[in-house]
Structure 1
Amino acid sequence: MSATQPITILFADISGSTRLFETLGDVDARRIISSALTALVRISNGHGGRLIKTIGDEIMCTFPAAVQAAMAACDMQRCISTDPAFVADALGIRVGFHHGEALLENGDVYGDAVNVAARMAALSKREQIVTTASTLKDFTSIGGIRSRALGRARVAGKLLPIEIVDLIWQEDTSNLTSIQRAIRVEDTQQGSRLTLRHRGRAIELREDGPPFTMGRDPASGLSIETEWVSRHHATLECRRGLWLLIDRSTNGSFVRIGDEDELRVHRNELPLRRGGCISLGQTVAAGAADLLMFEIG
């Protein structure tokens, strides 16, 4: 059953997980990250939140009201920064959230508000909580929540930059400048970029650049000479800050965003988020030799 309603979406991402895997190995690193994610979910539940999904080392939760998400976010930061086990492993988290209309369907959440919340998390630095100014507009002094303006940032799907803020969660703010690293406004106002990697080659696409073509045609931006790839297979382009994969092929394109389920795009468009992989003409598993890895930032 589907329903659209106002809701707050929060993403919390563990910073430093790559270093853990490199230094401790897969088993110990996974155990530490799992323990941290369990703590974050417990805090979310304690503030009336609901876990929607875990995406690698990131959780996505929803809350009925923005104030609940804000208080949960502050408690998440305090927990990771003070728990001896997490401090010993030098863990940190980035948190972003946004309140808006979203579509609730089969236990998941979709829509513009989700994209904005994900963008807030992407803009957040280690030990930082970033949200939109509109999310905090109806806040009172409840919970002693304080915030400061960070300027404006571009968000995929939004024609104009939006005002963003971060929450001051530290009890002691005497060293706020060194701990709470603000986002530089000039950085957030740069155009969106997509980095595409294929067989050791890295290609950077810019928001203001022309559409990037992929297919068997030697004149394509990326030429892949295999029988299951169409001559003019697909295009990557940015519209109003939102990156799209546009398929024009016979066999379709297969996309996996993060750890989400694989999607097939056939003569249609698919908005891309954060990062993942693309396989032209066959499933991701079957096309492992020619996977296109993408990252948006």
Structure 2
Amino acid sequence: MFVDIADSTMLYERIGNATAAAMTQRVLAHLRHLVEDHRGGVIKSLGDGLLAAFPVCDDATRTACAMIGIQDQHRLRLRIGIHFGTVIEGIGDLYGDACNVAARVQQIARPGEILATQALVDGLSPDLRGRTKPLSNVAMKGKAAPIRVHQIRADDDTEDAIESTTLGFSLVTEAGGPMMTLHLAYRGQDITLSRTLPRVTIGREDNSGLRIASRQTSRQHAVIDFTRESFLLTDHSTNGTFIRSGGSPPVVLRRDSTKLVGSGLIGFGAEALDEGQDHVVSFRGELA
């Protein structure tokens, strides 16, 4: 199981390094106790997250649910990914395909969400299996076939988790040099993402940074991150994200990621045919 504190970089910017570091350590200590309480072991800390292992699938799942349950206490959100498989134990670490899959599943989870593979779900007791909801098949590096991913509700009374969307990010070069910006346009609204506005939420929810007035769009749908000098869009939705750029064939994302390059259209929940559609946002990257 991989656990990550969502948006930890923004946390450090918002409350300062010392305060954020102390908060992170308190959260990780709490997570460590939850792992140990459920017969698991923390293999290593990962700065703003941790890697843990458990003897059975139920223990890992109950731990993940308990972790989601303490989020509000710490005023943050966690991303959790779980997989079942054989690992190789090293000194203070685990290796092997199972670890790689669990890490990938955690990366595509939304803040506050638990995702698990089919292999994990197959090993659950009936009561916990009843909390799972199948999502899409996810292509993973090194895997010949996609892997089925499931969402796990943290509480029996939890309503079906909302679907979702976030967009945006800036490429910052050396101080004083040119900066890559990403321009988004939707129904007369224009948002320019840059160093001063590195992220904006996009979705059907009223509190979205850019609200999409379409039932095809999830309330929260995707995330665009600036990573390794590129804009990376990761889909978190049920219906998928459809990207058209230049004359290239459309790219369809379902719980997967791709780089945004050049200019084009993004369809949140359905294919993007033209800018006039109520689920379509146009994008354009340029140096400023």
State the TM-score, normalized to the length of structure 2: 0.57
Q: Is the 8 A contact 2:87 2:99 kept in 1?
A: yes
**Aligned with residue 117 of structure 2, among 120, 128, 132:** 132
Give how far 1:52 is off. 0.9
State how far apart, in whole Å, the 2-side matches of 1:148 and 1:37 are: 28
1:21 equivalenced with 2:87 (yes/no): no
Confirm or deny: 8 A CA contact 2:136 2:255 kept in the other structure.
no
User: Does the Cα contact within 8 Å between 1:36 and 1:80 map onto a contact in 2?
Assistant: no
Which residue pairs with 1:70 in the alignment?
61
* Partner SS state of residue 28, structure 1: helix
- Would you say 1:107 and 2:127 are equivalent positions? no
Paired with 2:37 and 2:68, the residues of 1 have a C-alpha distance of 15
SS at match of 2:116: strand
2:214 matched residue in structure 1? none
Q: For the Cα contact (< 8 Å) 1:102–1:113, is it kept in 2?
A: yes
Cα separation, 1, equivalents of 2:44 and 2:11: 22
Deviates more, 1:163-172 or 1:47-56: 163-172
TM-score, normalized by length of structure 1? 0.55
Q: CA deviation at 1:139?
A: 2.0
Sequence identity of aligned pairs in percent?
27
1:158 aligns with 2:158: no
How far is the alpha carbon of 1:80 from its aligned partner?
1.3
Residue in 2 aligned with 1:39? Answer: 30
1:96 maps to amino acid: G
Structure 2 Cα separation of the partners of residues 143 and 67 of structure 1? 7
Query: Shift in Å at residue 189 of structure 1?
Result: 6.5
Distance 1:52 1:190 in 2: 27
Distance in 2 (CA, whole Å) between partners of 1:12 and 1:129 is: 9
Residues 121 and 129, structure 2, Cα contact 8 Å, conserved in 1:
no
Q: 1:175 to 1:144 in 2, by over 3 A?
A: closer
Give the secondary-structure state (helix, strand or coil) at the position aligned to 2:148.
strand
**C-alpha displacement of 1:144:** 7.4
**CA-to-aligned-CA distance 1:80-125 (integer Å, 9 cap, x gap):** 13x2xx12xxx10000010101111223210000000000100111
CA distance in 2, matches of 1:189, 1:76: 22
Counterpart of 1:52?
Answer: 43
SS in 2 for 1:113: helix
Deviation at 1:16, TM superposition (A): 2.5
C-alpha displacement at 1:50, in angstroms? 0.7
- Contact 1:154–1:188 at 8 Å: present in 2 too? no
Structure 2: runs of 5 or more not aligned: 165-218, 221-235, 241-251, 263-288
| SS of the residue 2:58 aligns to | helix
One-letter identity of the residue aligned with 1:25: G
Deviations 1:48-72 (A, max 9, x none): 1111111110100111111110000
- Give the drift of 1:173: 2.6
Whether the 8 Å CA contact 2:82–2:106 is kept in 1: the answer is yes
Q: 1:149 aligns with which of 134, 145, 163?
A: 134
Going from structure 1 to structure 2, the CA distance change for 1:60 and 1:159 (only over 3 Å counts) comes to: same
1:223-251 CA distance string (max 9 Å, x none): xxxxxxxxxxxxxxxxxxxxxxxxxxxxx
